[in-house]
Amino acid sequence: MNILLLATDFFPVWGGAGTYASELARNIDPGIDLHILTLNRINFGKLKVKSKDNLEDFLPKNVHVHYLGEARDTFWYNLKFQISCLRNIDFFVKNYDIDIIHSQSSMPDLFINHNNLKIPVVTTVHSTIEEQAKAIKALNKGFHQLELSEKMTLLLSYFNYFIEKNYYKNNKYYITVSDWSKEQLVKNKKIDPNRVRVIKNGVDVELFNPKKGLSSHKFFPELSLITKPKILFLSRMTESKGLTFLMESIPSILKDSDVHFIFAGPGKRPNIKLSNKNYTYLNYIPHEVCPYLYSLSDIFILPSLYENFPISILEAMASGCAIIASDIGGIPEMISDSENGLLISPSSIKDIINSISNLLEDKILMQKLKINARKTAEEKFTLNNTISNTIEYYNEILKKN
């Protein structure tokens, strides 16, 4: 079987979709020839990065990466990639005898006439522009406070909504990473539910493991010396991730508790008005180093206004963190409140304060959540299950075509 994966975000990853594509490539069945069309990332804001050196050490022999230009931290690089896919798709389909095209909800195949391809196309839906715009509007923040991609999402929301609506009219197959996402697609995009398969995201429970904490000092020596409880926010530095709500909650938390906050992820550095003894800012962290950051943290928090089925939560669960996350999207499908994590109302500063304070005061509860989070990842959300279910869906699609 020959698969062509279209991935706007691949390596080094910007977000969940990039992690999804990278982990699929890293763990794909050796009997599948996987070709990846992607972009060579140049930067995350002012931070210069480059695609992984010696990718052959990272990927198996049956995975082949083809770069169609560069990914710079601008809103328009996705449009350029869509045009590049249009220009090159026929070449790759014919020369590599492709059986299935696997696209992503960033719509890299937007301009491609799927009927002319004469092979099936399956799109994994990580998020929709419609839901992203709703979350940004719900922030009620000044336009100047938003990150560039959030500003452009708002400015072009009506235009993009029209494009997205037509994109989902194509006679394709779909993978959604949560039951919630499938319900939204069927309801809002009018997609035949029989063409939608729910395959929930998974995590490599060997790579993300509490035992990585024993080696975390090699990568984060200063953090490893901190004995007070550590609270990790590892995500893109955008308003829709609930970053400002977390910031506004911190002074109240520090009045009663001596804790250390860790902020990590690509994007513009937030305005952190804290003493250096109470926080560390790390900027972008390579994905292969993240297991060591999760495992030295006690609490992982993601107070987003919009999420589907975030891989970052799965990674934190597998690493044995106590999870605090917004009760939105597909998150309740992975987190059972007070059993393997705590669910909070989005945009609620009060909930953030109470949930963190409760965990700091109740060590038994925190330990319970840590143990159950790891157990949930091992039993329900392994990467092996995600990969095998995806390959099974490939085979079903080929039988139908």
CATH number of the domain to which 334 belongs:
3.40.50.2000
Strand arrangement, sheet containing 299-302: 279-283, 260-264, 230-234, 299-302, 322-326, 342-344
Average pLDDT, the chain: 89
Cβ atoms of 236 and 243 closer than 8 Å: no
- How many residues are present in the chain? 401
pLDDT of 142 over the 80 cut: no
- Pairing mode of beta strands 173-176, 47-48: unpaired
- Each residue's pLDDT tens digit, 262-289: 999 988 787 777 777 889 999 889 888 9
Torsion of CA 274, 279, 280, 283, to 10 degrees: -60
Residues 6+ positions from 227 with CB-CB distance below 8 Å: none
- Closest by CA position to 299, among listed 314, 312, 316, 283: 316
Separation CA 274–CA 169 (nearest Å): 49
Q: Are residues 274 and 130 in the same domain?
A: no
Let me know: does 373 contact 316? Beta carbons within 8 Å. yes
CA distance 251 to 257: 10
CA 156 – CA 4 distance, rounded (Å):
29
Note every long-range contact of 281-287, with CB atoms under 8 Å and residues 24 or more positions apart, other chains counting: 283/44, 283/47, 284/12, 284/44, 284/47, 284/49, 285/234, 286/12, 287/11, 287/12, 287/13, 287/19, 287/22
- Say whether both 178 and 317 belong to one domain: no
In this predicted structure, which of 131-135, 212-216, 276-280, 336-340 has the lowest mean pLDDT? 131-135
Q: Is the dihedral of CA 165, 177, 199, 113 positive or negative?
A: positive
Neighbours of 74 (CB within 10 A): 13
Instruction: Indicate whether 390 and 323 sit together in one domain.
Output: no
Domain enclosing residue 291, as ranges: 210-380
- Do 39 and 162 lie in a common domain? yes
Could you tell me the end-to-end alpha-carbon distance of the chain, in angstroms, rounded to an integer?
14
Same-domain status, 19 and 143? yes
Output 240-243 pairs: Cβ under 8 A, ≥24 positions apart: 240/132, 240/135, 240/136, 240/139, 240/150, 240/304, 240/305, 240/306, 241/302, 241/303, 241/304, 241/305, 242/302, 242/303, 242/304, 242/305, 242/326, 242/346, 242/347, 243/270
Residues 172 and 219 in one domain: no
Q: Is the Cβ–Cβ distance between 216 and 296 less than 8 Å? A: yes
Does pTM surpass 0.85?
Answer: yes
Q: Taking the CB of residue 120, how many other CB atoms lie within 10 A of it? A: 18
- The rounded distance, in Å, linking the Cα atoms of 110 and 141 is 31
* Predicted local distance difference test score (pLDDT) of residue 4: 97
Q: Supply the pLDDT for residue 27.
A: 92
227-267 tens-digit pLDDT:
999 999 999 888 889 998 999 999 999 998 999 999 999 88
Q: Note whether 234 and 337 are same-domain residues.
A: yes
- If asked whether residues 93 and 217 sit together in one domain, one would say no
Backbone angles phi, psi at 115, to 5 degrees: -65, -35
Q: Are residues 388 and 373 in the same domain?
A: no
Residues 312 and 166 grouped into a single domain: no
Residues 395, 374 within the same domain: no
Q: Model confidence over 63-93: pLDDT tens digits? A: 999 998 877 655 577 888 899 999 999 999 9
Q: Are residues 154 and 193 in the same domain?
A: yes
CB 138 within 8 A of CB 241: no
Which residues pair with residue 125 across a beta bridge?
Answer: 176
Least confident of 36-45, 155-164, 215-224: 155-164
Q: Across the strands, what pairs with 123?
A: 103, 174
Count of domains for the chain: 2
Whether the per-residue pLDDT at 351 is higher than 80: the answer is: yes
